[in-house]
Amino acid sequence: MAKKTVREVDLKGKRVLCRVDFNVPLKGGKISDDTRIRESLPTLRYILQQKGSRLILMSHLGRPKDKPEPEYSLKPVAQRLAELLARPVTMAPDCVGEAVEAQAAALREGEVLLLENVRFHKAETENSPEFAARLARLGDIYVNDAFGSAHRAHASTEGVAHHLPAVAGLLMEKEIKFLGGVFENPQKPFVAIIGGAKVSTKIAVLESLLPRVSSLIIGGGMAYTFLKVQGIAVGKSLVEEDFLDTARSLLKKAGEQKVKVLLPLDHKVAAEFNEAAKAEYVAGTAIPADRIGMDIGDKTLASYREAIAAAGTVVWNGPLGVFEFPEFAKGTLEVAKMVAACKGTTVVGGGDSVAAVQKFGLADKISHVSTGGGASLELLEGKDLPGIVALADQ
| Residue 288 near residue 282 (C-beta atoms within 8 A) | yes
- Cα–Cα distance between 200 and 232 in angstroms, integer? 20
Beta-carbon count within 10 A of 257 CB: 11
What does the angle CA 143 – CA 149 – CA 150 come to, to the nearest 5 degrees? 65
Please name which of 156, 171, 227 lies closest in space to residue 3, comparing C-alpha atoms.
171
Bond from prior residue into 189 cis (ω within 30 degrees of 0)? yes
331 is a catalytic site residue:
no
**Three-state DSSP class for residue 298:** helix
Residue of 4, 80, 137, 198 marked catalytic: 198
Distance of alpha carbon 256 from alpha carbon 207, whole angstroms: 13
Dihedral of CA atoms 104, 106, 109, 110 in degrees, nearest 10, equals -50
How many residues are listed for the chain in this entry?
394
Please pick, among 299, 305, 374, 383, the residue that the annotation labels catalytic.
Answer: 374
Question: For this structure, is 65 an active site residue?
Answer: no
Residue 198 among the catalytic residues: yes
Among 351, 372, 373, 387, which one carries the catalytic annotation? 351
* Cβ-proximal residues to 92 (8 Å cutoff; 6+ apart), any chain: 99, 100, 103, 113, 114, 115, 116
Which of the residues 3, 15, 36, 291 is marked catalytic? 36
CA pseudo-torsion sign 393, 374, 195, 364: positive
Give the containing element (helix H, strand E) for 304.
Answer: helix 298-309
| Active site (annotated) includes residue 351 | yes
List residues with catalytic annotation: 36, 198, 351, 374
